[in-house]
Amino acid sequence: MQRNDMRPTEAELEILQVLWEKGPSPVRTVNDELSRKREIGYTTTLKLMQIMAEKGLLTRLKEGRGHVYSCAIQQNDTQQQMLDRLLNGVFGGSATKLVMQALGNSKTSEKELNEIKKYIENLEGGKS
Amino acid sequence: MQRNDMRPTEAELEILQVLWEKGPSPVRTVNDELSRKREIGYTTTLKLMQIMAEKGLLTRLKEGRGHVYSCAIQQNDTQQQMLDRLLNGVFGGSATKLVMQALGNSKTSEKELNEIKKYIENLEGGKS
DNA sequence: AATAATCTACGAAATACTTCGTAATTTAAA
DNA sequence: TTTAAATTACGAAGTATTTCGTAGATTATT
């Protein structure tokens, strides 16, 4: 399994997002995607991705004229890790507090709220 | 109200945590607290807190030989802001996904799960 | 008042993160 | 095969963050 203490930076996260969504892609694709949100030079994206490959956040394969990059870390693992960080760093470790705040100030639909309720009941079942 | 787009850094967050928990405190107290977790020089903490005061994250009052610092931003606001950031940055904006992940991999007690369920039902009531 | 202890102000080094220019390389097109 | 287009490698500048040393000021002790 991948090293677990990786803390992607803000910029790295943007790139991971694209790759998680679009799957393995060349720099060009990632850069195009990032450019839709903000101005960013091609070589900036390239450099970031090269560094991420060195760090082990991405892997890459030669493909035609350039490379195709893939995420080396799971989206789930990253989510969990960053969640833990927020939980301990800002919510004093209370998942309850975090969950309530997340649901309170967000436009979560009734349907989704119901799903969550079911999910909780499932958890409760598993514990008893 | 306080500016809403403040992004405390990691180190700043540590300090805010202490002040939120202990209330207004001098540098010495904050530094002692931080030192329990990791090695950090007094002047490092001092400098950080001075910068935070400049930025408007903290306020301070002369008190005896030194100063007493207080948080200028609410814990709630900060929690919400960082939650939003995580939500959009890593969970694609889906509070549901985030909540499930938070509950899934954490040792939330049955009692707490129940509280959350009630909280959700309350939300549902408010929406209909 | 002299000495010691504590705190502040200031500057600057050390580190981490982001950005991009340029030159070299590779591939495709003319 | 020459030219053009795309990609890479590399270095380095720019910015933000974290760290701390030193000198000076303030307060408490002797």
Q: Is the pLDDT of residue B2 over 90?
A: no
User: Rounded to a whole number, what is the distance in Å from the CA of B67 to chain A's nearest CA?
Assistant: 25
The CATH 1.10.10.10 portion of chain A extends over: 10-71
Say yes or no: domain B1-92 is CATH 3.50.50.60: no
- Model pLDDT for residues B66-125, shown as the tens digit of each residue: 999 999 999 999 999 999 989 988 898 899 999 999 998 767 899 999 999 999 999 887
- Please state whether beta strands A58-63 and B66-71 pair in parallel, antiparallel, or not at all (unpaired): unpaired
* pLDDT number for residue A6: 75
Would the Cβ of B28 be found within 7 angstroms of any atom in strand C?
A: yes
- Summarize the confidence of residues A53-63 as an average pLDDT: 96
User: Rounded to a whole number, what is the distance in Å from the CA of A47 to chain B's nearest CA?
Assistant: 21
Are residues B79 and A87, on separate chains, in Cβ contact within 8 Å?
no
* pLDDT number for residue A127: 53
Residue of A nearest to B100 (CA): A116
Q: Is B1 on the interface with A (CB under 8 A)?
A: no
User: Rounded to a whole number, what is the distance in Å from the CA of B64 to chain A's nearest CA?
Assistant: 31
Which nucleotide's C1' sits nearest to the alpha carbon of A42? C20
Name the pLDDT band for A108 (thresholds 50, 70, 90): confident
CA atoms of B103 and A102, how far apart (whole Å): 12
Mean pLDDT (chain A) is 91
Q: Which two tokens stand for residue B10?
A: 């990691």
- Model pLDDT for residues B23-50, shown as the tens digit of each residue: 999 999 999 999 999 999 999 999 999 9
Neighbours of A68 (CB within 10 A): 16
**Distance in angstroms: CA A25, C1' C29:** 25
* pLDDT number for residue B106: 66
Best residue in B13, B96, B109 to probe A by mutation, most A CBs within 10 Å?
B96
Determine the CATH number of domain A10-71. 1.10.10.10
- Model pLDDT for residues A2-42, shown as the tens digit of each residue: 445 678 999 999 999 999 999 999 999 999 999 999 999 99
Are residues B90 and A98, on separate chains, in Cβ contact within 8 Å?
no
Burial of B69 (0-12, 13-18, 19+ CB in 10 A): buried
Contacts for A25 with CB less than 8 Å, ≥ 6 apart: A18, A19, A68, A69
